[in-house]
Amino acid sequence: MALTIMGTGSIFDLCEDRIIYRSLDPLDLRLPRFKELKTQISLTSGSHPRKSDPEYGVICATYIRRMAELQGNPEPENLLYFGDTLFNDGSAFNNILSAGEWNGAAFIGSDLPGKKPELIFNDRIGAASRWNMLESFLGQVAFPLDSRTVLVVDLDKTALGARGRNDSIINEARIEAMQQTIQSALHGEMDESLFRTVYDTLNQIEFHPFTGDNQDYLAYLCLIVIGSVLDLQILIDGIHSGHFSTFPGFLETMQQKRPSLAARGLENVHDTVWQAVRQGDPTPFKAFRKAEFVATLNRFTTNQNQPVEEVLKKYITLTGEVYQASRKLQQQGVVVLGISDKPDLSSVPDEKQIQSGLMPIHKAQTLILGEEN
């Protein structure tokens, strides 16, 4: 794969403020807030649906129709989707497609150097072992790519930090932020080796029924173990036995350990997370997510005078193939919506961060890296 730097750009170039993060509140303030939308469409789900939930498709399809109307486009008839995982993005695509009752096609990309270049279709989803097969995929789409079509682009590891190319840098930013947050909570006392053991152990699929694959929950669990409030093996045994069956239930149990929390100076952190979870907040560890935002931005670069190999090791870049295809479709009248499971706090600055000059992830410039066709 001969990758090249194609200049600089931003997510804003593709979709402006038409982005939905974990809160499901669009950044485009012309669109209704999630709380308002739930009432309008009689959605009964108590929390914030994720990509694999059918309700997620209903929400996105509703926003898509509103977006098309705001753009002066006709009622959508077709859905394009660019993603990087067959389960999450494939589920999101099918859920949106079902809710919208549209024609559809999805591209699921990854750079897999160990596999031969191939684009395999299963129903309406094309899975590719190279990102540069996106153009070939679009050439096989059976419906018109014009104002009657809407494109949904997954942001993390699709538009930014392409899977199989430099997606690991996104993970590194999150882990660095988690380490910094835990170290701060423990007043500088942290065993980094123990952190990696706890994180790598609990960040596995077998624990997803307990953690919900929620990195905020994982950050709290790492803090509790590293802060010597609860032994890792006791936690694991409790999860496996069902004694700790849900994370909210686990927080209730931790309420009984307030003396131990107080002894380590962790009662305030615990109270903040506990109260947020009780209120249905999907991102309860705010300090961690604010740190993740900064760590992510720090991995953007506009310096084009550096080797591609260095860029791949250090920086989060725009995926050239996705960027170019999205821009071309945009010029053909296609409306683009960006979606992400990432929390808003990891993507948009708070007031203090704005005052310090930080800009939202989707407006920050970084290098565009891809393969020329």
19 within domain boundaries: yes
Estimate to the nearest angstrom the gap between the alpha carbon of 163 and the chain centroid: 13
Q: Do 22 and 136 fall into the same domain?
A: yes
Q: Do 176 and 280 fall into the same domain?
A: yes
Task: Using alpha carbons, select from 86, 84, 40 the residue that is nearest to residue 63.
Answer: 40
**What is the domain range of residue 276?**
168-291
Q: Do 19 and 117 fall into the same domain?
A: yes
Other C-beta atoms closer than 10 Å to the C-beta of 92 total: 25
Assigned token pair, 334: 């296609």
Task: Using alpha carbons, select from 168, 172, 169, 277 the residue that is nearest to residue 220.
Answer: 277
- Which residues touch 201 (CB under 8 Å, ≥6 apart)? 232, 236
The helix (run of H) or strand (run of E) holding residue 209 is helix 208-211
Q: Do 188 and 54 fall into the same domain?
A: no
Could you give the count of Cα atoms lying within 13 Å of 217 in the half-sphere of its Cβ?
Answer: 20
Q: Do 7 and 135 fall into the same domain?
A: yes
Whether 292 and 173 have beta carbons less than 8 Å apart is answered as: yes
Q: Do 334 and 206 fall into the same domain?
A: no
| Residue 338, beta-bridge partner list | 19, 153
Strand residues in the chain grouped as ranges (E) = 3-9, 19-20, 78-83, 103-108, 119-122, 125-128, 149-154, 318-319, 335-339, 366-371
| Residue 121, beta-bridge partner list | 126
Task: Using alpha carbons, select from 157, 23, 158, 9 the residue that is nearest to residue 80.
Answer: 158
Each residue's pLDDT tens digit in the chain (373 positions)? 689 999 999 999 999 999 999 999 999 999 999 999 988 888 776 678 989 899 999 999 999 999 999 999 999 999 999 999 999 999 999 999 999 999 999 999 999 998 999 999 999 999 999 999 999 999 999 999 999 999 999 999 999 999 999 999 999 999 999 999 999 999 988 889 999 999 999 999 999 999 989 999 999 999 999 999 999 999 999 999 999 999 999 999 999 888 999 999 999 999 999 999 998 888 999 999 999 999 999 999 999 999 999 999 999 999 999 999 999 999 999 999 999 999 999 999 999 999 999 999 999 999 999 997 6
Give the C-alpha separation, 198 to 224, whole Å: 10
Residue type, 311: V
Estimate to the nearest angstrom the gap between the alpha carbon of 270 and the chain centroid: 25
Q: Do 100 and 156 fall into the same domain?
A: yes
pLDDT digits (tens, 9 = 90+) for 9-50: 999 999 999 999 999 999 999 999 999 998 888 877 667 898
Task: Count the domains in the chain.
Answer: 2
pTM of the model: 0.94
| Residue 153, beta-bridge partner list | 82, 338
